[in-house]
Amino acid sequence: MDNQSKVKAVLSQFPLEIKEAVILNDKDKKASWLVSTSSGPKVLKKSPAEKDRLLFLLQATKYLQKKGVRIPKMVQTSSGADFAEDDEGRGYVLSDFVPGTSPKRYTAVELASIMRQLGIFHRASRGFQPQAELRERRHLGRWSNAYQKQLDHLELFKALAKLDRSVFSKLFMRHVDRYILQGKRAMAIIEGGSYRRWVNKVAEQGNLCHQDFAAGNLIKSPRGYYVIDMDSVTIDLPARDIRKIFNKVMKKTGWSGLKAAAMLRAYHKSHPLTADQCRVIYADLLFPHLFYGMASKYFHERLEWDQTETLDKFKDMLRKDRSRLRMLAAWKRIVKRALR
């Protein structure tokens, strides 16, 4: 069955008159279509998740919706299911189309709004308990293992780089040891009491992380921000989402203590943080996630760009990283300013 016929068969499972389906993007296991229906425009998404994982995601989505998080309303199939399946067993979710725009730039006003919404998202997720048989994605309490795995990979990349005469490998070798040292310092912090106390608290009350709570997955409408793309939702500390948005924003706009304080302050207003928890955030920002990400793509041959662009991006990351370390050196002052 070709893709067009497959999509038509999937849409026939919903109690709507379908007028047209236009492809928005297609990444093989993950795709989406804008669908014109008798009940207005909808968005059909093919999920990359296996069935038990998809059921977990849908359960988490519905819980957040009930708690007030704006996520596009899902359309049930004619049989009352939350998703349809194609002939290969792949799941498809149909949701309302939300008119609006994604934030184009990380201005101070937009960043403050996004961080407040992230805090609301985390607060709303409290109390969520997935059904035991569903495949949840849980990182809670497992940071030490994840850190060690990445540090081990960096040591492996060093061995590969010694056999590679590329400019990228030479630049990697010039800097890798200091990044490994940063990783070990971060590891020492999360093996301490601050991390364990936060893990115990979240284990008791629950917390969902979106994992990409950034401009591209937010739609600004007259009613406020809507959250989309729930494919990566996991159970973990709020720090995970905070670190990810810090890295995403700062690698584009440069690391700044003032910006960091403003972001933390905005988040703190909707989901209060303690100085102890901010120490965990510090550790995750200290760990070389961005450096590791670039090296992993290069040495595992998963590059999204050509060699020249890859090298330029690597050099840009290394230049901006000096300001990351300056910001982290002032972390205690940043936290004091944000939490007062």
Q: Is 175 helix (H, G, I), strand (E, B) or coil?
A: helix
Note whether 186 and 90 are same-domain residues: no
- Say what the pLDDT of residue 308 is: 85
Total structural domains in the chain?
2
Q: Please write down the long-range contacts of 157-166, taking CB distance under 8 Å and 24 or more positions apart.
A: 157/295, 157/296, 157/299, 160/299, 161/299, 166/307
- What is d(CA 226, CA 74) in angstroms, rounded to the nearest whole number? 13
Note whether 281 and 179 are same-domain residues: yes
- Say what the pLDDT of residue 1 is: 56
Note whether 204 and 262 are same-domain residues: yes
Note whether 123 and 91 are same-domain residues: no
Note whether 335 and 280 are same-domain residues: yes
Per-residue pLDDT of the chain (340 residues; tens, 9 = 90+): 567 888 999 999 999 999 999 999 988 789 999 999 999 999 999 999 999 899 999 999 999 999 999 999 999 999 999 999 999 999 999 999 999 988 878 899 999 999 999 999 999 999 998 876 666 678 999 999 999 999 999 999 999 999 998 999 999 999 999 999 999 999 999 999 999 999 999 999 999 999 999 888 999 988 889 999 999 999 999 999 999 999 999 988 889 999 999 999 999 999 999 999 999 999 999 999 999 999 999 998 877 778 888 899 999 999 999 999 999 999 999 999 999 8
Note whether 84 and 113 are same-domain residues: no
Contact (Cβ atoms closer than 8 angstroms) between residue 218 and residue 72: no
- Say what the pLDDT of residue 281 is: 98
Residue where a domain stops, chosen among 43, 73, 96: 96
Domain encompassing residue 50: 3-96
Note whether 91 and 162 are same-domain residues: no
- What is d(CA 103, CA 125) in angstroms, rounded to the nearest whole number? 24
CATH number, domain of 55, equals 3.30.200.20
Whether 103 is covered by a domain: the verdict is no
- Say what the pLDDT of residue 268 is: 98
Note whether 40 and 171 are same-domain residues: no
CATH number, domain of 231, equals 3.90.1200.10
Q: Is 33 helix (H, G, I), strand (E, B) or coil?
A: strand
Note whether 45 and 171 are same-domain residues: no
Note whether 259 and 159 are same-domain residues: yes
- Which pTM was predicted? 0.94
- What is d(CA 92, CA 85) in angstroms, rounded to the nearest whole number? 6
Nearest Cα neighbor of 112 from 278, 263, 338 is 263
